[in-house]
Amino acid sequence: MIFSKKGILVTGSSGFIGSKLIENIPYDSLITCPRGKRKYFYKNDYFDKNILSEFEDLRVVHLATFFSRNEKIK
């Protein structure tokens, strides 16, 4: 079943830039990889890789990052 011909996968959607971006994306085209504060979801509150096959045209906006708050220098 195809829910939308076009989809947008946003990583880092709970960050400052990601959260502002997804406010302007139509909900039926939005897929997020939720972490942390969960505000928007596509279908469920977890990422299901099978959802990707339901879109004919999928765009990826990668805004996720990983950092440590540990200030130790190794």
Q: What is the model's pLDDT at position 44?
A: 40
Q: What is the model's pLDDT at position 72?
A: 67
Closest CA to 9 of 66, 65, 62: 62
In a domain, 21, yes or no: yes
Structure tokens that stand for 66 in this block: 């990983």
Beta-bridged to residue 47, according to DSSP, are none
* pTM of the predicted model over 0.75: no
In a domain, 74, yes or no: no
- Is-contact 6 28, C-beta < 8 A? no
**Tally of structural domains, the chain:** 1
Domain that holds residue 27: 6-62
| CA angle 49–40–66, rounded 5-degree value | 70
DSSP at 47: -
Q: What is the model's pLDDT at position 40?
A: 47
pLDDT tens, the chain, 74 aa long: 445 467 788 888 778 888 888 888 776 776 666 555 554 444 444 456 677 777 788 888 898 887 767 766 55
